[in-house]
Structures are given as C-alpha cells and as structure tokens.
C-alpha cells in the first residue's frame, strides 16, 4: 500500500531494539493523518502540523488481523522477560502492510513499547 491523502501514519521506528523484543516509541506514541503522498504534510494527533516529512520516514498504519486485534485490552508479556515487562495492549496495527504490532503500556512504569505481536503472550488472571 502507498501513503496517500487520508492515510494514518507514524514515523518509522528507528530506536535501538530492546534486545530484539521491540522498540521504545515516543512517549506517548504519536500517529497522524497524511495530507498527501509520503514526503508531504502530516497532521499529527497531538495537534501539530508538519508541512513536510521527508519521504521514507513514514510508515502507513493499517488494520491488524483478527488474531492481533483479539489482544486489545489484555495484559501481555514477552516470554523470558520479567513481570516488569507486563503491559496492557492499547493498540493493534500493521505497519506498511508488513508486520503486526501491538502497542503496550507497561504496568510497571507507564512507558510505551511497540512489540511484534507474535512475540507476546497473554498473562492469565490480569
């Protein structure tokens, strides 16, 4: 899919991977609506308007598959990590029709992590 006017977008994730688990995102994460093709203006959901975002710096955000959507509202963890990585799934989406992600707000400190949806497991009883 190509970014066009009205596409939901986010900046490409460029932070260092957290030991291959996921990426720390802007706190809180910011999504926006493109006014045209990639490299054009973006109206960000935090109220900012940026007249030109460099081409190649945006990912289009598209609907997640039903399996990933079913994680919304659940508490998840990445196997092998401590309970400090337990968090609530607050969003589920696909970046540029390439990979499924969940946006998790950690219970321990409120930080946001964007995680590969295939790496998380639901924490029973929470």
* Structural domain includes residue 98: yes
Q: Which domain holds residue 73?
A: 8-122
Alpha helices in the chain (DSSP H): 66-69
* Structural domain includes residue 1: no
Distance in Å from the first CA to the final CA of the chain: 37
- Which pLDDT score is estimated for 14? 61
**Nearest of 60, 72, 70, 53 to residue 98 by alpha carbon:** 60
* Structural domain includes residue 2: no
**pTM listed for this prediction:** 0.82
Number of independent structural domains in the chain: 1
**Structure tokens belonging to residue 22:** 């996921």
Digitized pLDDT (tens) for each residue of the chain, 126 residues in all: 688 899 999 888 665 555 555 665 667 778 999 998 867 899 998 888 988 888 788 889 999 999 999 999 999 998 788 998 899 999 999 988 888 999 999 999 998 888 889 989 999 987
Query: 119 phi and psi, to 5 degrees?
Result: -95, -10
């Amino acid at each position: 899919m190509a970014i066009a006017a009205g596409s939901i977008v986010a900046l490409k994730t460029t932070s260092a991977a957290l030991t291959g688990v996921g990426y720390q995102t802007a706190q809180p994460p910011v999504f926006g609506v493109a006014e045209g093709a990639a490299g054009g203006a973006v109206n960000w959901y935090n109220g900012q308007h940026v007249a030109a975002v460099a081409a190649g710096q945006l990912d289009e955000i598209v609907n997640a598959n039903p399996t990933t959507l079913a994680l919304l509202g659940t508490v998840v963890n990445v196997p092998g990590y401590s309970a400090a990585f337990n968090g609530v799934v607050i969003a589920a989406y696909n970046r540029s029709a390439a990979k499924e992600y969940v946006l998790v707000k950690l219970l321990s400190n409120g930080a946001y992590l964007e995680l590969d949806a295939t790496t998380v497991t639901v924490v029973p009883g929470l």
